[in-house]
Amino acid sequence: MTTFNLRRLRLRSGEQHSEAVEVDVDPLVIGGQDYVAVPARVPAELTVTKASSGLVLQLGFRVRLEGPCFRCLADSALELPIRAREYQAESPGDDEDLRSPYVHDDVIELSAWARDALALELPDKILHDPDCAGLCPECGKDLNVDPHAHDEQHGDPRWAALEQLRNSSTS
């Protein structure tokens, strides 16, 4: 886990500190599938700005995320620019809005912050191609490789008894 110690910064109100850091990006598990950043350690830019009542924290990086396509399970990759911002008040008290969940005892948990920021930037579906046809619901073949249709219509077996009743009443 990558962390950054804020105690070493001696900022006055209005001052800003920017630093290049390398952040370990933990894998994400979405729908039981693993999505990993390649490489797992990415270069990032951390900016800390001292406001009159706390710190404004900014983290920016680019990441390549690799994992299976949601529709056909083929290998897919996303290139995402990530920009995240947090605020940490000097005296937050019990107000959760004034406290960053990534700052504990003047140490920022950069890995957790990067993982969460990445998760928020993900599209609804991770696809290897926007026109991915997916897998055939009947036979499971990849419809991108072998587009086909099944002639025979199979009803849901849970409705078989109802279908028999319908057929017997029309006879």
- Name the CA dihedral angle for 30, 34, 37, 39, rounded to a multiple of 10 degrees: 180
pLDDT score of 171:
63
Using 50 as the pLDDT threshold, list the residues of the chain that sit under it. none
- Judged by DSSP in three states, 2 sits in coil
The 10s digit of each residue's pLDDT in 81-114 is 999 999 998 877 777 778 899 999 889 999 999 9
pLDDT score of 161:
86
pLDDT score of 165:
87
pLDDT score of 144:
93
pLDDT score of 7:
86
Asked if 60 contacts 124 with a C-beta cutoff of 8 angstroms, the reply is: no
pLDDT score of 154:
64
Tokens matching residue 63: 């990441």
Tokens matching residue 27: 């894998």
Residues forming a β-bridge with 45 = 20, 60
pLDDT score of 153:
67
pLDDT score of 150:
82
- Judged by DSSP in three states, 161 sits in helix
Tokens matching residue 56: 């404004």
- Name the CA dihedral angle for 114, 118, 120, 121, rounded to a multiple of 10 degrees: 140
pLDDT score of 157:
80
Q: Which residue has the tokens 């999505």?
A: 35
Asked if 75 contacts 66 with a C-beta cutoff of 8 angstroms, the reply is: yes
pLDDT score of 27:
93
**Cβ-count burial of 103 within 10 angstroms (0-12 exposed, 13-18 middle, 19+ buried)?**
buried
pLDDT score of 121:
95
> Model-level pTM?
0.78
Euclidean distance between CA atoms 53 and 92, whole angstroms: 9
Give the ranges where the chain is alpha helix by DSSP (H).
110-121, 160-170
